Chain A
Amino acid sequence: MSHLPLSVTVNGEQQSVDVDPRRSLLDLLRDTLGLTGTQKGCDQGACGACTVHVDGRRVLSCLTLAAQVDGREVTTIEGIGTAESLHPVQQAFIDCDAFQCGACTAGQVMSAAALLEEDGWETADDVRELMSGNLCRCGAYPRIVDAVLSVRDAREA
């Protein structure tokens, strides 16, 4: 099978690569572009560790064909903050102690960052429901909810 020419903006940078049609967005990011912050957990859409933003929406990169993001804007964990200048969600995860082993954290942060731009939620229960696509086997859920709410509250203050 021939490879496809693909042009995609990743973290603000235009990338032009040829991809195997079978390649997932997750593998494109990690293996082709060397952006290994996005994690491969289950590789079947169940755990949320691979969450990235495509045109601002949180999606599962393991269930997205790379070919399907041609012309789109992809944002990964590397694109939202740096060690020197953390994204507010990243800072909140530290402040709230919202992770332990860290395997799920990139996905949690990307999911939370998108959630903060979405409408229709208010309470801790809403956050639990709307973060349910991100599993944490260490069980940091209560603190993840705290982190999300703290960023929301800081914005509204």
Chain B
Amino acid sequence: MHPFTYTRVDDVDAAVAAVTTDAVARAVQVPEDAAFIAGGTTQLDLMRDGVWSPGTLVDISRLPLADVEVEDGDGDDGTVLVVGAAVTMADLARHAAVAGLDVLRDSLLLAASPQLRAMATIGGNVLQRTRCRYFRDPTVSQCNKREPGSGCAAVEGTARMHAVLGVDAGCIALHASDLAVALVALDARVRLHGPDGVRTLPVADLHVRADDDPARDNVLTPGELVTHLEIPVPDARTGYLKVRDRASYEFALTSAAVVARVEDGVLAHVAIGLGGVGSVPWRATRAEEVLRGRPASLALFEEAAAAELADAFTLPGTDFKPELARRTLVRQLRDVTEVTA
């Protein structure tokens, strides 16, 4: 592991200032090597493997961002959960406010292991880097995410835990978060605190697709810190289904987060996130368009799932995924809506 400087900060402004080289001359880019650390579960691996070598780590684990608050929403929103970015996965999963929100709770409890969930924060979870083993192996020279323009060893090599949506031959890295898949289906937002102030952004707009720019994971500007997640509690039934190679402590091959309300047999509200398939937490807008406002039926669910996966980019190692993703989505639509014919 390369040497780095460690500092701990006690408030958000100090955190942002600490990773911003020159807080006055804000046009100056934050050096690539200054970064925040909280749970650190992914970062320590990346540092140890030599994939990532920050010069400075700013410890934000003790910022006052560890609370879950239930607030009244604006306009169409009912209740909104405002979750501090330093809340751990374990604490959010067990929070009373999440008890009835199956999609959120299960996306957390079906992820990682109890120890990792006790360490990892939700801010870090949403920003986690890809698990692509070629990206994580610095002896592999072809990686457009690490080294723009160098190529993609995964496309040439053995792909399995890789993406089929939002990718092309330049990069097939998967965004492996379960939580983020639930968040896009819940229309959640991230609150960001940066050198130039505070802004909020839909989680669905936070990440950058690999087929747009594999070198860039997200749209955060230098020095920006995720401080909160805002999660509207929908007037709908929800659920998260995760399909994987073993029953526990494993990443998704495919997953589906479904938020749906059926009124008089018609899908009055539907929002879908797909996991295990996208270079970003995948919002299934095509499927939603097929479903929205139409009478719920298994045939319609199958039509919607087929529409979403129609343009999947597959390789020999990932050609099972579109069919598995279709079936995962159909089954979860069926289970959440209880429409079985």
- A interface with B by C-beta (< 8 Å): 1, 4, 20-22, 24, 43-45, 48, 51, 57-60, 62-65, 67-68, 70, 111, 115, 118-120, 128-134
Contacts and interface: CB of A to CB of B under 8 A. Distances in A.
A120 B40 contact: no
B328 to A, nearest CB: 20
A70 B5 CA distance: 16
B44 interface: yes
14 contacts: A4-B6, A21-B4, A24-B44, A45-B44, A60-B41, A63-B40, A63-B44, A65-B6, A65-B59, A68-B59, A111-B115, A115-B114, A132-B113, A133-B249
B268 to A, nearest CB: 33
Interface in B40-79: 40-41, 44-45, 47-48, 57, 59, 61
Nearest to A47: B113
Contacts of A59: 115, 118-119
B116 interface: yes
B5 A21 contact: yes
A51 B119 CA distance: 12
Contacts of B5: 1, 21
Given A48-B113, A111-B114, A21 B248 contact: no
Say what secondary structure dominates the interface of chain B. Answer: mixed
Contacts of A115: 114
Q: How large is the interface on B (under 10, 10 to 19, 20 to 34, 35 or more residues)?
A: 20 to 34
Contacts of B61: 68
Nearest to A120: B94
Given A60-B116, A68-B59, A22 B248 contact: no
Contacts of B118: 57-59
Q: Enumerate the 8 nearest inter-chain pairs by beta-carbon distance, A residue then B residue, closest first.
A: A133-B113, A21-B6, A132-B248, A1-B3, A132-B249, A133-B115, A57-B118, A22-B1
B19 to A, nearest CB: 16
A67 B6 contact: yes
Given A44-B48, A48-B115, A63-B40, 6 more contacts: A45-B41, A45-B116, A64-B40, A65-B40, A132-B249, A133-B113
B269 interface: no
A132 B44 contact: no
Interface centre among B4, B6, B114, by most chain A C-beta atoms within 10 angstroms, is B114
A129 B119 CA distance: 17
A1 B116 contact: no
B203 interface: no
Contacts of B247: 129
Contact of A22 (B4, B41, B112, B249): B4
A77 B184 CA distance: 41
A65 B37 contact: yes
A75 B25 CA distance: 46
B331 interface: no
A147 B297 CA distance: 47
Interface centre among A58, A68, A111, A129, by most chain B C-beta atoms within 10 angstroms, is A68
Contacts of B41: 45, 60, 63
Contacts of A1: 3-5
A67 B59 contact: yes
Nearest to B55: A1
A43 B4 contact: no
Interface in B182-205: none
Contacts of A20: 3
